[in-house]
Amino acid sequence: MTGARADGAFIGEALLAQQGLRPTQAGGHIAVVDAVRAQFAGPFGALNSLRRRRNELEYPSFPGEHVEPDEVTAAVATTGGP
């Protein structure tokens, strides 16, 4: 899995695939995140903010923008990681 896919949309696509659903290109990742948040609520509430931040870093408005260690720690905590 690449860094670009290590986000809420990837998780969301897997959850929806288990139900026999898949997103269209028209809706993009936001449609996946919205569907997962609507179905599963609580545990996935932060997916959209993680998706947005990943998008900001992948397609920066400000060249040279980087992630601070505290932001990484907070994101990992949000996902329930180590």
Give 27-63 pLDDT, tens digit per residue: 777 788 888 888 887 767 777 788 788 888 888 888 7
Tell me the C-alpha distance between 62 and 3, whole Å.
20
Helix or strand run (H / E) with residue 53: helix 47-58
pLDDT of residue 2: 44
HEC secondary structure over 6-20: CCHHHHHHHHHHCCC
> Would you say the pTM of this structure is higher than 0.85?
no
The fraction of the chain above a pLDDT of 70, given in percent, is 87
63: left (phi over 0), alpha (psi -120 to 50) or beta: beta
Number of domains in the chain: 1
Contacts of 37 (CB under 8 A, 6+ apart): 44, 45, 47, 48
Confidence of residue 4 (pLDDT cuts 50, 70, 90): very low
Question: With bands split at pLDDT 50, 70 and 90, how would you rate the model's confidence at 5?
Answer: very low
Q: Provide the residue range defining the domain that includes 29.
A: 3-79
What is the C-alpha separation between 37 and 32, in angstroms, rounded? Answer: 9
Tokens representing residue 8 in the block: 């809420």
